[in-house]
Structure 1
Amino acid sequence: MKLIHTADWHLGQSFHGQERHVEHRAFLAWLLDTLVERCADALLVAGDIFDVVNPSLAAQALLYDFIVSAHERLPGLQIVLIAGNHDSGNRIELPAPLMRRLNTHALGRVYWQDDGDLDAERLLVPLTDAEGATRAWCLALPFLRPAEVTGAGLRADLGDNKDDAAVPNDYVAGINRVHTRLIEAARARREPGQALVAMSHAHLHGAAVSEASERPIVIGGEESISAALFPDDIAYVALGHLHRAQQVGEARIRYSGSPLPLDFSEVGYPHQVVEVVLEGEALAATEALPVPRPVAMHRIGPAPLARVLAELESLEDAPALADARGRERSRERWPWLEVRVELEAPIPDLRARVEAALDGKALRLLRLERRLPRVEGEDAPARIDLESLGPRKLFERTWADRWGKPPEADVLADFDRLCQDVLDGEEATS
């Protein structure tokens, strides 16, 4: 059977204050045509479907219009969606009963049974061929938040070791246990000749991150997990979270990458979806399908102002446009531009000079970065990036500063539950 693996759509992204619906709409139209052309049996979307937990109505309409159109053109196509760290798991699952009628499975959260065991069955999605026979099982694991996998509630999943106080009760150990439990459940369900396909939104050890556009999932890189979690009987591992398309150790373990650059730092490498072909229980082939870039992105610099202005002047003039209305429509396809200028001294009219060089050019200046010279011997205070630090690590530092020692495991478990309550409250009021 044939699968298409994609992730990190980030529908509704605000790109330096500008919406990108035109680009996302173009990508989804291309993806739908590709699914038809390739006669795909299933589409796997490995998280970060939206850019924020409370996406705009326009962003939600992009997703649901795509699902409806896909079902109209390919009634047999199965779509499996999981929530990423940018998504609200509750929001992803809210329309799940309706989406199942469109052959779409939406998994946003993990759930625990009364005995404390993982409800693994709801995360196992049978993938069928054109005749309706189950050819594979998708292990659809949404992004795991700390409150979902830490604390005493998970210890029942440890079996005979559940009373062993030496077993670590932390976030990464919790993630590992959930993956292991889900794989065990899938092995119990599969029949001879059926493949196992894992889908997860996580950060694997050794994977390459983008320069500026990816924030740590929870606690600044400490949440990364090992590719060894996926044993050899998993035919393919469809990963989301990292925007750079890459394999991790083996050809069967892949990040599809984001279909569009989500930051100027991502301009330099290709963006794609991955076609996956399964034969029986094994992976037969993979092929990267490059995604056309509906709107170009350009970076100029870092360079001195004179060189930057010369590069701007050399850019082609905007094509003639028939009228103001036509000009506005075409403007949605003008390339995005980032300009980085190295300065030896302040230039108060820097933006005006850059914009003057762009006059008449079919470009949209989104970001102007001033790079100031370093002063030799100057000791700048260490700067803490709160976004990359994350709320959990910030809490740990604050607690340690106040009490002279790091918080204990039960305190962190309480903090994780409070964070989850806040997220759930935001989702309920949206």
Structure 2
Amino acid sequence: MTVRFFHTSDWHLGQYFYQHSRHYEHAQFLSWLLDQIEQKKPDALLIAGDIFDVINPGSQAQKQLYQFLADAQSRAPHMQTLMIAGNHDSGYRIEQVDPLLEKYQAHAVGVLHRRDDQQLDLERLILPIYNAEQEIVAWCLALPFLRSAEITSSHEHSRNSQDAIAYIHQQLIALAKTKKTANQALILMSHAHMQGGETSDSERPIIIGNEEALSTALFDEVIDYVALGHLHKPQKVQHAHIRYSGSPIPLSFSEVNYKHQIIEVCIEPENDPDQRVKIDSLMIPRCVELYKITGELNEVFERLHTLPQGPIEQLEQRPYVDIEYHTQTPPAPQLRQQFEDALPPDRYRLVRIARVYRNNENDPNLQPSVSLSPPTPQSLFQQLWQQQGYAIDSEVEKDFASLVQEAEALLEQQTEQGSHS
């Protein structure tokens, strides 16, 4: 039996980009996706985590998701939507609305649950995918973002994160094999950082402490397709069937050249191994451009004057501009206003200006000295750490990322406990 599904991830609904809402851009993407769903009629839509940008998304972002699910169900009534929580999501929050999701043929796996004997409940992580005739054509192994505190224990296979993750994969795949028939596919959906994956500067680090990125050796050969989330660049990881779909819109200026897409997968388990999985990329139109302009001041002004002209009435539809100029001298007064005046009127949003000192013409090292980017925990820590005279290295960054993650997990637990009290 054939199964056809879409793989997407890292929507980050509710994101603010330099204080500007991305609601319009997400709305355009979701409208395009609905058209693809209506045209292709897939059996399932897989959303591999980071559905929202923060663990407590605003009402507008939540409404955007649930309205999409309602519209998708009306366009393709038999399609199931399967979602997992990413490191930006509250797993408890997305599971709380399961009765609502069921009305729209949707299901969310947010956290790992334990049975009465304290063993992980793996059954609830294996989800059937049905075709239009209500036959089970595939099983989806749905693994949300695995936090160390949730998976480690005194069990001999779970004393550290790496061992625990490997053990969960082994047990989950073994259980799935007992369910699978010869004419059904096995799909694994996970939100994780895999070895060899190419990152951007907008992804929150999830390699913590001294842990390493995960190996594709976790995935048994019986798995027909691995649908990954977390990294924003669409990419294969060592094998053609192990893929990140990437984010639907650029979430930072480092992602300007990414070819944003969803992945259409068709699996025919009864075919020969080299012909059973067909993968196509469906390119997502970009509705708002990002321009990153770098160089000496005269070069920057020349580039600004050559940008496309013509006003854009709606602010949310105007392109974003990032300027990084190189100089050996302090900035002139009113420089920002000069940049604004050089831009075509009523068309762009100048969201960031960074000055980079060039010590001398023969010095290839450029040192950023001014940025209008909003502070993050990582940037504030780096600034304070360096002010104390210490050097930032990868181990320090990993340890700090571990502390941030623990704090976020504690905040999430307190939030959930407060909502139940």
Superposition TM-score tier, normalisation by shorter sequence: 0.7 to 0.9
Q: In structure 2, do the counterparts of structure 1 residues 308 and 60 end up closer, same or farther at CA, with 3 Å as the change threshold?
A: same
The residue that corresponds to 2:52 in the other structure is 50
Q: Residue 214 of structure 1 aligns with which residue?
A: 203
Aligned to 2:327, which of 343, 359, 375?
343
Matched AA of 1:308: V
User: After superposition, where does 1:36-47 map in structure 2 within 5 Å?
Assistant: 36-47=38-49
Paired residues for 1:234-253 under 5 Å:
234-253=223-242
Give the aligned residue type for 1:251.
A
1:334 is matched by which residue type in structure 2? R
What does 1:119-158 correspond to in 2, within 5 Å?
A: 119-152=121-154, 155=155
Which residue, 249, 252, 259 being the options, matches 2:248? 259
Q: Is the CA contact (8 Å cut-off) linking 1:206 and 1:248 kept in structure 2?
A: yes
* Structure-2 change in CA distance of 1:270 and 1:388 (3 Å): farther
Structure 2 CA distance for aligned equivalents of residues 5 and 18 of structure 1 = 27
Aligned counterparts of 1:385 and 1:351: Cα–Cα separation in 2: 34
Match of 1:313 in 2: 305
1:89 is aligned, of 88, 91, 103, to 91
In the alignment, is residue 183 of structure 1 matched against residue 192 of structure 2? no
Spell out the pairing of 1:398-413 with structure 2 (5 A cutoff). Answer: none
Q: Do the aligned partners of 2:205 and 2:401 also contact (CA within 8 Å) in 1?
A: no
**What is the DSSP-based 3-state SS (H/G/I as helix, E as strand, rest coil) of the residue aligned with 1:197?**
strand
Query: Does 1:296 pair with 2:286?
Result: no
Q: Pairwise CA RMSD of aligned residues?
A: 2.5
How far did 1:189 drift?
Answer: 1.2
Matched, 1:333 2:317: yes
1:172 aligns with 2:156: no
CA distance in 2, matches of 1:101, 1:394: 39
With over 3 angstroms needed to count, the CA separation of the structure-2 counterparts of 1:66 and 1:312, relative to structure 1, is same
Deviation at 1:107, TM superposition (A): 0.6
Give 1:74 shift: 1.1
Partner of 2:347: 362
- Looking at structure 2, the residues matched to 385 and 232 of structure 1 have their Cα atoms a distance apart, in angstroms, of 34
Listed as ranges, the matches of 1:267-282 within 5 Å are 267-280=256-269
Secondary structure of the corresponding residue to residue 322 of structure 2: strand
Per the TM alignment, residue 394 of structure 1 is displaced from its structure 2 partner at its CA by: 5.1
1:60 aligns with 2:62: yes
SS in 1 for 2:197: coil
8 A Cα contact 1:238 1:255, kept in partner: yes
Letter in 2 for 1:342: H
Equivalent residue of 1:372, what SS? strand
How far apart in 2 are the matches of 1:220 and 1:268? 31
Please identify, of 380-389 and 40-49, the stretch whose mean Cα deviation from structure 2 is larger. Answer: 380-389
Gaps of 5+ in 1: 156-161, 322-326, 396-414
Shift of 1:101: 2.4
Instruction: Confirm or deny: 8 A CA contact 2:127 2:140 kept in the other structure.
Output: yes
Per-residue CA shift, 1:34-71, capped at 9, x if unaligned?
Answer: 01111211000000000000001000011000001111
The amino acid across from 1:333 in the alignment is Q
SS where residue 358 of structure 2 aligns?
Answer: coil
Contact 2:193 / 2:207 at 8 angstroms: preserved in 1?
no
Which amino acid in structure 2 is aligned with residue 58 of structure 1?
Q
The 2-side partners of 1:227 and 1:384 are apart by 27
Structure 2 residue identity aligned to 1:242: L
TM-score (norm 2): 0.86
Q: 1:255 to 1:221 in 2, by over 3 A?
A: farther
How many aligned residue pairs are there?
A: 388
Deviation, 1:116, is 3.1
Moved over 3 A (4+): 374-381, 383-395, 418-422, 427-430
Instruction: Show CA shifts across 1:306-363 (max 9, x none).
Output: 11011101223224x7xxxxx2xx3321111111111111114321221121151511
- 1:384 to partner: Cα distance: 6.8
Residue deviations 1:46-101, cap 9 Å, x none?
00000000001000011000001111111101000000000000011010122112
Q: Give the counterpart letter for 1:298 in structure 2.
A: Y
Partner amino acid for 1:288?
Answer: S
The equivalent of 2:72 in structure 1 is 70
What is the CA deviation profile of residues 98-146 of structure 1, one whole-angstrom value per residue up to 9, with x for unaligned ones?
2112210111001122223221111111001110100100001111111
Q: Deviations over 1:254-305 (max 9, x none)?
A: 000011100000001211000000102664200011101111111111x001
Q: Any conservation in 2 of the 1:125–1:138 contact (CA below 8 Å)?
A: yes
Q: Assess, with a 3 A threshold, how the Cα gap between structure 1 residues 168 and 185 changes in structure 2: closer, same or farther.
A: closer
Percent sequence identity over aligned pairs: 43
C-alpha distance in 1, partners of 2:261/2:268? 23
Q: Is the 8 A contact 1:215 1:388 kept in 2?
A: no
TM-score w.r.t. length of structure 1: 0.85
- Once residues 220 and 213 of structure 1 are traced to their aligned partners in structure 2, the CA distance between those partners, rounded to angstroms, is 20
Is 1:317–1:362's contact at 8 Å kept on the other side of the alignment? yes
C-alpha deviation, 1:429, in angstroms: 4.1
Secondary structure, aligned partner of 1:196:
strand
Provide the residue aligned with 2:219 in structure 1: 230
- Cα deviation for residue 25 of structure 1 reads 0.5
Residues 217, 223 of structure 1: 8 Å contact kept? no
| Residues 152 and 158 in structure 2, CA contact (< 8 A), matched pair in contact too | no
- In structure 2, relative to structure 1, the CA distance for the partners of 1:8 and 1:423 (3 Å cut) is same
Correspondent of 2:187 among 184, 187, 197: 197
